[in-house]
Structures are given as C-alpha cells and as structure tokens.
Amino acid sequence: MDIVGFLKSQFICHLLICYIFIVSGLIINFIQLFTLILWPINKQLFRRINCRLAYCISSQMVMLLEWWSGTDCTLYTDPESYHKYGKENAIVILNHNFEIDFLCGWNFCERFGVLGSSKVLAKKELSYMPIIGWMWYFLEIVFCKRKWEEDRKTVVQKLLNLRDYPENFWFLIHCEGTRFTEQKHQISMQVAEAKGLPKLKYHLLPRTKGFAVTVQCLRNVVSAVYDSTLNFRNNENPTLLGVLNGKKYHADLRIPLEDVPEDEQECSTWLHKLYHEKDAFQEEYYRTGTYPAVPTVPPRRPWTLLNWLFWALLLLYPLFKLLINMINSGSSLTLASFAFVIIIASVGVRWMIGVTEINKGSTYGNNDNKQKRK
C-alpha cells in the first residue's frame, strides 16, 4: 500500500474529516436559521442563499467520493440529450440497490451544477437529523411519513411550492421506497403476483402514488424525467466506510430521457413498465458489464475540493492549537476529558456510517407482508 493509501485508511484522518463536516455543518445550519428573516421579505433571495449554503454541506460528501476515494463515474446516455442536463428541471428516478447510491446521485448533480438545489422525497424522521436533515428543511425538501392518507395533502402542497423555484433543480426519487434486500424483494414479488404485475429480478415493486403526484404537481415546471440506473463494475459492493477508507470504485449510470403520461392510472402503468425495462437493462449489465449507450465521463469540477479545503483551513487550526495547549497543560483531567471526547466522536462517526448500511436499513417494505398475514 502506498503512503497516501495508508493515510486514507487511518482512523485519525476519518475523525478529522468528520470533525470538519460536523462543525462546518452546524455553523451553516446556524447561518440558515438567520436566513428565515428573508422569507417574508424576499423569498427568492432566501432560496438562492440556501442553495449556496446547502452546497457547502453536501459538496463535502461528494468530495469524499470524487477526490478522496477517486471513484470513477461514467454516464451512458443519448449524446443529443447530454447538453440539456443541468439546464432544465428534471425528475430523476434512481434505483435503490447500494449503500452509496444517494452519494452517486449527488455526484452527478454536482457534475451538472445542480447539487445545491437538488431535491428529494425523504422520510419525515430525517428532517430532525442535524446538518443534512436541517439543511433539507431550508431547501424545502418534501418530507413524508410513508402513510399516503396522511402524506397526500402535505406532499402536494410542498411540491406546488416548488413551481416558482428560482434555480434549476433535479428532484431525486427512489420509487421503490426502500433499499433492495433479498427479504424485501421476496415480499415485493409476492405483492406483484397478487396484483398481476410483472415480476422483477433486481428491483422492488415501485410505489406509484408518490411518483404520480410528483409528476402531476411539477408537470409545468419539470421538462423531463430521467430514468437513472446505477451499477458498479466487477460486482463491487460499495460502502460509505469503503469511500472513507479511500477505496476507489467504478460507477456506471444510465440516463435516457422519458415522457410520462398525465393520467394517474396511466402514469402508474408507465412506471411499472419502466421498472420492467430497468430490470432488463440490469440483466444486460450483469451479463456484459456495460450499458447499450454512448459512455461519457462528465468533467469533475474543482468546487467540492475547494469548499472542503476552505473549511479544513478554517477549523483545523483552532483544533490543533487547543490540542497543543491541552498537552502543554499536563493536566490529567484535561487529557482524560480529551480522550473521552475522542471516544464519543468515534462512536458518533461509526453511527453516521451505520445509517447507510443495507443491513441496518428501514423495515419499510415489510409492511405488505404484515398486512397479508392479518
């Protein structure tokens, strides 16, 4: 292992990266709080400022993938459509098979300049999470409880609020609702059989209601729907811990342009057909290791690295100065307190990484099985 690779695998480096992310994130959240005074005065200025502040947080995660890990990202798409990416509002349908699929989605948002304004349909619990959850609140992210009877009115209202959004945005949506596991896939296919829907080998049955409402509410704002299918070469199983250790992956993403019908039932049928096609493309990828489209590598931009370096220079100096003063004091209590903080930080870092792990994912998707047993 070379010296750079060795340093990337060291836990002290992981702690410093997480320290920069947490402290800078909380500072940005605090600044975002003060931007609320702009909402009744100039809503569009509030939105533009928060897009930039959100970028300062999310770009640090993308920096890990692009610069720290050095992961290669290849896009397979229609060359005629390529020039539109980032210049129009779009709904992006993502498959949900990998622990870092959200990070790869953010990576392509960054490559096309829409990372700061990107939107998601996220579970309500995430809105209470410091840093990213609070950042999303100020970005007017659409949160839901995953109970459609309770969610419909709230989701529709929040989607309609995005109609006058001043920045180009991609609305990222995982139509499967939860990350793929073998147990959830088995349950999902039981539901598909009961409803007479085509079975899928590599995806869960898509949840159509949220997608249909999203399309209806944003139809006059969004120019297109991008069907995004993510895979990793050589049967790689990427993890956030692997990225933090500096492991390099090779991601392939397929994005064609799609047209969606307006009627809710037709939209639902269209989505099921789309996932059947996605399954076929997944089968082809596992067989050949490539997609049937022109491969393109969108240029990597320097802003994620420059943003991280800015926060690193700003925050590491006072940390090292404090550490030196503590060592010079010679106080056993001070050193013991510092060791305690390190332990707490270690636990916190491991918890943050654990949130992304597939085997610790949500139980959403098992509800259908429970209902069938009643």
Checking if the pLDDT of 65 tops 80, the result is yes
Task: Indicate the pLDDT class of residue 254, thresholds 50, 70 and 90.
Answer: low
pLDDT at 258: 63
Interval 157-180 mean pLDDT: 90
Q: Say what percent of the chain tops pLDDT 90.
A: 34
pLDDT at 304: 96
**Who wins on pLDDT, 140 or 324?**
140
Interval 43-57 mean pLDDT: 97
Token pair, residue 207, equals 């949840």
d(CA 354, CA 296): 32
**Who wins on pLDDT, 271 or 347?**
271
In the 8-state DSSP scheme, what is residue 265?
A: H
For 328-360, the pLDDT digits (tens) are 776 777 777 767 767 776 666 666 665 555 555
Interval 178-199 mean pLDDT: 89
Cβ-contact 125, 156 below 8 angstroms:
no
- In the chain the domains, ranked by start, together with CATH numbers, are 3-303 (3.40.1130)
pLDDT at 374: 44
Checking if the pLDDT of 324 tops 90, the result is no
d(CA 250, CA 239): 13
pTM score above 0.85: yes
Interval 363-369 mean pLDDT: 56
For 273-314, the pLDDT digits (tens) are 889 888 888 888 888 888 887 888 899 999 999 999 999 999
Which of 22-26, 61-65, 111-115, 227-231 bottoms out in mean pLDDT, i.e. has the lowest?
227-231
Average pLDDT in the chain: 85
d(CA 22, CA 61): 11
Instruction: Specify the long-range contacts of residues 79-82, CB closer than 8 Å, at least 24 apart.
Output: 79/294, 79/296, 81/255, 81/256, 81/257, 82/296
Checking if the pLDDT of 30 tops 70, the result is yes
Checking if the pLDDT of 189 tops 90, the result is yes
The 10 Å CB-count burial string (b at 16+, else e) for 214-232 is bbbbbeebbebbbbbbbbb
CB atoms within 10 A of CB 22: 17
Q: What residue ranges in 279-367 does DSSP mark as E strands?
A: 294-296
Q: What residue ranges in the chain does DSSP mark as E strands?
A: 72-77, 90-94, 119-123, 142-144, 170-173, 224-232, 250-255, 257-258, 294-296
pLDDT at 372: 46
**Who wins on pLDDT, 326 or 105?**
105
d(CA 180, CA 96): 6
Task: Indicate the pLDDT class of residue 364, thresholds 50, 70 and 90.
Answer: low
Which candidate, 274, 237, 231, 235, places its Cα nearest to that of 253? 231
